[in-house]
Amino acid sequence: MKKKRPSLKDIADALNISTTTVSFVLNGKGEEKKISKELIAKVEAHLKEINYKPNLVARSLRTGSTRVLVFMVEDISNSHFSKVGRIIEDISYKNDYRVLFCSTENDVKRTQDLIHLFHERQVDGFIIVPPPGIEKEISYLLENEVPVVLFDRKIPDLEADYVIINNFEGAKQSTQHLIDSGYKNIAFITIDLDQIQMHDREAGYIAALEESGFSPNILKIPYDTSNIPSSREKIKKFIEKNKDIDAIFFATNYLSQSGLKCIHQIDAKLINKLGIISFDDSNFFEMYSPTVSAFAQPVDEMANQLMKIMLSKLKNKEQGVPSKVVLDGTLVTRESSLKK
């Protein structure tokens, strides 16, 4: 049963009217264009009957807009990002945009490919968690007046809109919380990545310790191995070597998960002696035993701000001064950071 997809023209021919009329009805402009009630009804009935689906590729070529946005994050399966994504999707939908999700894995090459892929396919806007080294592609988009909003981290020296949180304050508060709980020897396990949000978290950690007269103890793991055995080895060795540590502050939620596993491997009882807190929350933390404290980012607000900026850029092609939004997070205290 060979069914050539029906086109607007086919419909017009079948009804003996012009494609213009069909197009107007299709786009709900019937009233506006003063097409008679009867004709509108007739066309709509026919559209329904043959279950007509317009060819949006043709429409996009004509209108110059795909009504598609792209949401590119480090890892869409990370609950922090997927929660933001979900809200973005809702807001977009209400504004007649669809959103495509993808993971950069913090890999420049992959991110470049994705940006080109979507830009060539004419998506209308990008919301991006930029991996290190992606400045050039972002600038390229900006020069071509493609709406771009960064989040989670900014790119220094780039005049782009962004929504981030105050990483320094968050890290400082988290560290302070451990200090307040009575921990005295707090280690910081982070990713060895030259990104501003990581630097800020480290600085916040150090600042809190210094105020209380404690000294920092930092382990940096290479990013590319953060999910595989070798990084776990590093964490394991670090913990075994530093017997005096009584608490650990992990710089990201996935580091915490790796770390928790290491701690368990070293000694099943160890987890109950150590104070633990994680930057970024995770569903997993509520399931773990003990439940894990975290510094949570304001997911709803981030998504709302992101879309507010994006929609305004989509509306006014002329872009004024970039919006630079810095939000505050919230400390979520659970069992892992109580004094043992």
Partner DNA sequence: CTGAAAGCGCTAACAT
Partner DNA sequence: ATGTTAGCGCTTTCAG
CB-based contact 168:160 (threshold 8 Å)? no
Say whether 42 sits in a helix, a strand or coil: helix
Q: Which is nearer to DNA, 57 or 270 (CB)?
A: 57
**What is the β-pairing status of strands 330-332 and 293-296?**
antiparallel
Distance of CA 73 to the CA centre of its chain: 4
Position among 14, 28, 33, 338 found at the interface with DNA (CB under 7 A): 33
1 is a contact residue toward a second copy (CB under 8 A): yes
State the Cα–Cα distance between residues 246 and 252, nearest whole angstrom: 19
CB-based contact 246:270 (threshold 8 Å)? no
User: Which value, to the nearest 10 degrees, does the dihedral of the CA atoms of residues 112, 118, 124, 129 take?
Assistant: -40
Say whether 200 sits in a helix, a strand or coil: helix
48 is a contact residue toward a second copy (CB under 8 A): no
Selected range binding DNA among 13-21, 170-178, 203-211, 257-265, rule: CB under 7 A: 13-21
| DSSP code at position 64 | S
217 is a contact residue toward a second copy (CB under 8 A): no
34 is a contact residue toward DNA (CB under 7 A): yes
47 is a contact residue toward DNA (CB under 7 A): no
Q: Which is nearer to DNA, 30 or 329 (CB)?
A: 30
- Cβ neighbours of 6 (radius 10 Å): 18
145 is a contact residue toward DNA (CB under 7 A): no
Sign of the CA dihedral 100, 106, 108, 109?
Answer: negative
Say which residues have a Cβ less than 8 Å from residue 217's Cβ, sequence separation at least 6. Answer: 185, 186, 187, 188, 242, 245
Position among 8, 91, 99, 221 found at the interface with DNA (CB under 7 A): 8
17 is a contact residue toward DNA (CB under 7 A): yes
DSSP letters for 265-312:
HH-TTGGGTSEEEEES--HHHHHSSS--EEEE--HHHHHHHHHHHHHH
5 is a contact residue toward DNA (CB under 7 A): yes
**What is the β-pairing status of strands 148-151 and 125-128?**
parallel
284 binds, among a second copy, DNA, none (CB under 5 to 8 A by kind): a second copy
Q: Which is nearer to DNA, 63 or 272 (CB)?
A: 63
Q: Which is nearer to DNA, 16 or 215 (CB)?
A: 16
Question: How many residues of this chain interact with a second copy, rule: CB under 8 A?
Answer: 42
Q: What is the largest CA-CA distance in the chain?
A: 86
314 is a contact residue toward DNA (CB under 7 A): no
Interface mask toward a second copy for 286-325; x: CB under 8 A: xx-x------------------------------------
144 is a contact residue toward DNA (CB under 7 A): no
Q: Which is nearer to DNA, 13 or 75 (CB)?
A: 13
Position among 38, 49, 96, 120 found at the interface with a second copy (CB under 8 A): 120
**Burial (Cβ within 10 Å: 0-12, 13-18, ≥19) of residue 300:** exposed
CB-based contact 280:296 (threshold 8 Å)? yes
102 is a contact residue toward a second copy (CB under 8 A): yes
Residues that bind DNA (CB under 7 A): 5, 7-9, 16-21, 23-24, 26-27, 33-36, 39, 54-55, 58-59, 61-64
Residues that bind a second copy (CB under 8 A): 1-3, 5, 51, 53-58, 60-61, 66, 68, 76-77, 79, 82, 98, 100-102, 116-117, 119-122, 140, 143-145, 257, 260-261, 264, 268, 284, 286-287, 289
